[in-house]
Amino acid sequence: MSSLQKATFAGGCFWCMVKPFDQFDGIEQIRSGYTGGEIKNPTYEQVKEGNSGHQEAVEILFDPSIFPYEKLLEIYWQQVDPTDDEGQFQDRGTSYRASIFYHNEEQKQLAEQSRKNLEESGKYKNPVITPILPAAEFYEAEEYHQDFYKKNPDEYKKDREQSGRNEFISKHWR
């Protein structure tokens, strides 16, 4: 039996980053939270202000023997605009930037290769600039943010539609 691993991805609003991963065997847990910043135990308001240095992110606990990291990367790239360094879709600012946070050297190499492959694919006119960074402390977001798409399906659907994320994904990934 394989041991579980962590993957951490920032892709704008964490509400929209849970559901795409939450439908596969081998994905054991997905937590919404904050990572990459300077202050300990940040609150949603502190992160949203953009002064904490944190990004909204999801931390995924997965079984690589069932669902390998490369598949997580494939899903990740289809959820973000990897050419935008100013946020994602309607959510602007540093706390909403897309980033991949690696937990070991293998994840780093796989993430770098997948970014290179995406860049070389010609899918985007602008350069793929999503950073690949060492994982930092992850702080779980407040309970009302966890599994938001399940708890508040109407608000989740409305937010995704208004954000431009669905339209972007449809245009680039069909």
Tell me which residues are annotated as active site: 13
Give 72's strand partners.
none
Contact 148, 15 (CB under 8 A): yes
In sequence order, which residues have a C-beta less than 8 Å from that of residue 3 and are 6 or more positions away?
Answer: none
Put the strands of the sheet holding 98-102 in their side by side order.
132-134, 98-102, 5-11, 55-62, 27-35, 138-140
Polymer length of the chain: 174
Q: How far is CA 125 from CA 81, 84, 113, 169, in A?
A: 11, 12, 19, 15
- In whole angstroms, what is the distance from residue 93 CA to residue 30 CA? 24
Where do runs of H (alpha helix) occur along the chain?
15-18, 44-49, 69-77, 105-120, 148-151, 153-163, 165-173
